[in-house]
Amino acid sequence: MSTSAAAPGRASADGIAARARGLTKKYGSGGTAVLALDSVDVDIARGRFTAVMGPSGSGKSTLMHCLAGLDTVSAGRVWIGDTEITGLRDRELTRLRRDRIGFMFQSFNLVPTLNALENITLPMDIAGRRPDQEWLDEVIDTLGLRDRLKHRPSQLSGGQQQRVACARALASRPELIFADEPTGNLDSRAGLELLGFLRDAVDSLGQTVVMVTHDPGAAAHSDLVLYLADGRVVDEMEHPTAAAVLDRMRLFAGSGPRPSGPRAARGPLDEDGVAVEGA
């Protein structure tokens, strides 16, 4: 199924932060091949908070990695803004990721020997870019990190470390922020705080956020939820509430919010990625 955070025709071209057409990703080959994404069409609207949900193994992380240029595609095309990233050379892709995308992962990936401020500005230091001080101050104050800037990660709580990771993703004012289960390692209070900051980043700072999550409560902070199942976008929900998200997940998964089945839930596929009957 084709779906969109802002379907073509509903938003102008410059209202789209990322776009995929016929995005297909197959891992492996022969009898053990897994079709992780099956001809996905998706538009991510600029200035919105989009959540990606679905059962374990449905292709959420693969979709995020392909949209962010962290993984190659097997077929189809992907754009960040107006730039088609499928077909870019490694060096161009690295530069594009560095200059236009911010990442937040479940593990914060902070450098232990650097203090919070140094961690926040590290990507820009590596790129040889000077931070926009006014923007940086706004991010630091929005995230409540002003009095923690000289602390090393080991001197910060988990929630504070995740806020540093969030500030690092925001600091260069990227076109797009991808967050993979950003609240996964946080207690519920710190998780809520972080989601509030991501919401603020969209509402007050005009950022675009795409977040993969299993948690209906987290998804309820977004503007739009995309549901993946078996490598396809099967539904979407505007203005989600936790209860409505949970209901919809039950419909698709036939179970609770965190299905625990094997990651490779599908059967073997043939050379063309088609399920082998009776396998």
Ligand X SMILES: Nc1ncnc2c1ncn2[C@@H]1O[C@H](COP(=O)(O)OP(=O)(O)OP(=O)(O)O)[C@@H](O)[C@H]1O
Residue with smaller CB distance to ligand X, 164 or 225: 225
Q: Is 215 helix (H, G, I), strand (E, B) or coil?
A: coil
Sites for ligand X among residues 234-263 (CB under 6 A): 263
Distances 67 to 126, 166, 218, 256, 268 between C-alpha atoms, Å:
23, 19, 21, 27, 25
107 conformational bin, left if phi > 0, alpha if psi -120 to 50, beta if neither:
beta
CB of 43 to ligand X, least distance (A): 20
Instruction: Candidates 12-20, 55-63, 104-112, 201-209: pick the segment binding ligand X (CB under 6 A).
Output: 55-63
CB of 22 to ligand X, least distance (A): 17
Distance, in Å, from the CA atom of 250 to the CA atom of 123, rounded to the nearest integer, reads: 40
Lay out the site mask for ligand X across 9-48 (x = CB under 6 A, - = otherwise).
Answer: ------------------xx-----x-x------------
* By the rule CB under 6 A, 54 interacts with ligand X: yes
Nearest CA to 40 out of 48, 54, 32 is that of: 54
Sites for ligand X among residues 133-152 (CB under 6 A): none
Residue with smaller CB distance to ligand X, 15 or 184: 184
* By the rule CB under 6 A, 61 interacts with ligand X: yes
Distance, in Å, from the CA atom of 80 to the CA atom of 248, rounded to the nearest integer, reads: 29
The answer to whether 17 and 27 are in contact (CB under 8 A) is no
CB of 230 to ligand X, least distance (A): 9
Q: Which residues bind ligand X (CB under 6 A)?
A: 27-28, 34, 36, 54, 56-62, 263-264
